[in-house]
A and B are shown apart, each in its own frame.
Chain A
Amino acid sequence: MKIVVAIKQVPARDSQLSIASSGKWIEEADLSYEINELDAYALGAGLELKEAHGGEVVALCAGPPRVAQTILEALAKGADRAIHIKEEASAALDPLATARLLAAALRNEAPDLILTGLQSDDLGYGQTGVILAELLGLPHATIVTHVETLDGGIRVKRELEDGWFQHVEMPLPALLTIQSGISKLRYATLMGIKKAKTKEVRRVTAADLGVAPLAASVTIERTYLPERTKRTQLFEGSPQEAAAQLVEKLRFEARII
């Protein structure tokens, strides 16, 4: 089975974010980056399928030169090769623009299965995977927590609201967006990193792929820190002082304890 896993590099989860002076995006200068966690789960699911059924796992990532680190980590965790779409403005792309790049990069790949996280931790549109399926003419399922192979296709378990699930069957090739917990997150070993450096990374640009930008149907006018509407009573001082004040409020104001 040939499996492509589309991964994204995002600012590290505990980053303190501030707004760039342009007011259009966050200040990127001092950020550190990591793989989007749901994409790490998708990579894990792809590697498990490969281990069970044989084949190949190809990591696909669009972004500026810094994403080379995330690609290297994916290779160290077990991906066989990678495609890096070099795109400086990747953070400003809407999901249709990103999916058009990904689709073009897969034009000659013919994968059996494409996996990606159900959304990104940065923009959080939750759309790129589904749009990629549409552009490639593939059936898809979203928010997938389990994948099993059938004769000529797959059966997946989709998560729905309120503790409900549903199985969906579909032929291959197909695209799945992956929910957290589907696989065990993997960590790169030293041996893996050493091997990763010898693996193939195909580097392409939007121009190489012949992808011209479309007129945007949504424009982002302003990026800002949300206004807080609720006034939380915050307790300050040492941990002991803050804890004592909180207990006092819980006893005499909220009357809970």
Chain B
Amino acid sequence: MSILAVMEQRGGVWNRMSFETLAAARQFAKELDTTASAAVLGQSIGHLAGELASKLLDKVYAVEHALLQGYTPDAYTIALRQLVELAKPSIVLFPHTYQVRDFLPKLAASLGRVAVSDAVSHRVDNGQVVLVRQLFQGKVAVDARFAGEAPHFASLQAGAYRADQLAGPEPAGATPPAAAVETFTPRISPGDIRTRPLELFRESQRAVDLGAAEIVVSVGRGIQEAGNIPLVAKLAEALGAELGASRPICDAGWLPMERQVGSSGQTVAPKMYMAIGISGAIQHLVGMKASRTVVAINKDPNAPIFEVADYGIVGDLFQVVPALVEALQKAK
């Protein structure tokens, strides 16, 4: 039994969620009384593998191939399947990034397995790992246990494990032994790769920088229709705040895309974030949970937004928001 963390890099730069996965792998290994190793895929990635060698791991795999220079699901799946055959891990952990979402289901299915995607925590029970997943946009949780033969696969939600725990308590003065770095060259041929990835790009410069605002008031599905947006805009005005939105509001064209807060929009950490009619799906939470004070107004007391809110009102936003505007004006 052993744990393998698959790290993510692009152009020689780490995706920092990888270090949360590395911390989780070490924690799993400790609790299961086994070893943790890590792998990184790409071309000319010796320096990245070298960096991992000092992270109290059993082994570091540098999976090197010219066809792994740019990401494709075909090349990554082939390379990782071969690595799993070589390293024989019992559990393979990944950060739940957009890239992992693109290839992990394929990799697991090609081995007849189902990956536990977007896990938020774990526990060890009877020497087996039980992972917790969220369903229904965070409203329900399930405990999932791996069954049958290894290898098993899981991806971990952003923020579910803390990368800073990697430092850990180390004996004073002693340098921990460096892990052996093993370079592995998978067998991949150009004909295996069916998709052609082109350069990454960003859309034109954003006119609205929500990140600079001291207060952000964001509106979500609860607003029901475009004609109701001014209600929340008035609240933003009363607070001297920028107006933000959850994704569905921007998808519907009720507010421009540049006002979107969340994993596919802007990440903000203002002094105060007010979420109006936003249930708090993880895609939204990652964009605002570092805010200093979070206020939520929602009719559903079980909405996940209340998990990150300091202050909340459970109620009908169409009554609460005008009352709040009035109370703010009175307080001036």
Task: Report which A residues bind B (CB closer than 8 A).
Answer: 11, 13-14, 16-17, 19, 26, 94-96, 99, 118, 121-128, 130-131, 133-135, 139-143, 159-171, 179-181, 185, 214-226, 228-230, 232-236, 238-240, 242-244, 246-247, 249-251, 254, 256-257
Taking each of B138, B148, B265, B330, which has the highest tally of chain A beta carbons within 10 Å of its own beta carbon? B148
Interface residues of B in 140-190 (CB under 8 A from A): 140-148, 152
Query: Given A246-B311, A247-B328, does the pair A217, B114 have CB atoms closer than 8 Å?
Result: yes
B130 at interface, CB cutoff 8 A: yes
Query: Given A127-B105, A234-B314, does the pair A219, B144 have CB atoms closer than 8 Å?
Result: yes
A171 to B146, CA, bound (A): 36
Query: Given A139-B195, A164-B200, does the pair A226, B98 have CB atoms closer than 8 Å?
Result: no
Query: Given A168-B197, A217-B148, does the pair A246, B271 have CB atoms closer than 8 Å?
Result: no
A96 to B104, CA, bound (A): 12
B34 at interface, CB cutoff 8 A: no
B114: A residues at CB distance < 8 A = 94-96, 125, 127, 216-218
User: B257: nearest residue on chain A (CB-CB)?
Assistant: A181
User: A163: nearest residue on chain B (CB-CB)?
Assistant: B202
B306 at interface, CB cutoff 8 A: yes
Total contacts A-B at CB 8 Å: 257
Structural contact, A166 and B327, CB atoms closer than 8 A: no
What's the nearest-Cβ distance from chain A to residue B116, in Å? 6
What's the nearest-Cβ distance from chain B to residue A122, in Å? 6
B65 at interface, CB cutoff 8 A: no
Interchain Cβ contacts under 8 Å between A and B, 23 examples:
A125-B117, A134-B106, A139-B73, A142-B102, A143-B102, A163-B206, A164-B201, A216-B114, A217-B147, A217-B148, A218-B145, A220-B143, A225-B139, A230-B307, A232-B296, A233-B311, A233-B312, A234-B313, A240-B323, A240-B327, A243-B313, A243-B327, A254-B272
B199 at interface, CB cutoff 8 A: yes
The residue from B98, B250, B309, B331 contacting A160, defined by CB atoms under 8 A apart: B98
B207: A residues at CB distance < 8 A = none
User: A128: nearest residue on chain B (CB-CB)?
Assistant: B105
What's the nearest-Cβ distance from chain B to residue A116, in Å? 12
Query: Given A139-B195, A239-B316, does the pair A220, B142 have CB atoms closer than 8 Å?
Result: yes
Query: Given A131-B109, A142-B101, does the pair A221, B145 have CB atoms closer than 8 Å?
Result: yes
Taking each of A123, A127, A218, which has the highest tally of chain B beta carbons within 10 Å of its own beta carbon? A218
Structural contact, A130 and B307, CB atoms closer than 8 A: no
Structural contact, A168 and B271, CB atoms closer than 8 A: no
A-B CB proximity, top 4 nearest: A181-B251, A127-B105, A139-B194, A243-B323
Interface residues of B in 100-138 (CB under 8 A from A): 101-106, 108-110, 112-118, 130, 133-138
Structural contact, B98 and A159, CB atoms closer than 8 A: yes
What's the nearest-Cβ distance from chain A to residue B245, in Å? 12
Structural contact, B147 and A235, CB atoms closer than 8 A: no
Structural contact, B141 and A224, CB atoms closer than 8 A: yes
Interface residues of B in 215-256 (CB under 8 A from A): 215, 221, 239, 247-248, 250-252
B54 at interface, CB cutoff 8 A: no
Taking each of A125, A214, A224, which has the highest tally of chain B beta carbons within 10 Å of its own beta carbon? A125
What's the nearest-Cβ distance from chain B to residue A5, in Å? 18
A33 to B195, CA, bound (A): 36
B1 at interface, CB cutoff 8 A: no
The residue from B101, B109, B239, B324 contacting A243, defined by CB atoms under 8 A apart: B324
Structural contact, A134 and B110, CB atoms closer than 8 A: yes
Structural contact, B73 and A140, CB atoms closer than 8 A: yes
B196 at interface, CB cutoff 8 A: yes
Query: Given A216-B114, A246-B295, does the pair A226, B200 have CB atoms closer than 8 Å?
Result: no
Structural contact, A257 and B198, CB atoms closer than 8 A: no
Q: Told that A168-B197, A179-B264, A225-B141 touch, could you supply 14 new A-B pairs with CB distance under 8 A?
A: A134-B109, A167-B197, A170-B195, A217-B113, A220-B142, A221-B145, A226-B138, A234-B314, A239-B320, A242-B320, A243-B320, A250-B272, A250-B293, A257-B328
B85 at interface, CB cutoff 8 A: no
A96 to B113, CA, bound (A): 8
Query: Chain B, 277-301, contact with A by CB distance < 8 Å: what is the 0/1 string?
Result: 0000000000000000101100010
The residue from B134, B139, B147, B328 contacting A218, defined by CB atoms under 8 A apart: B147
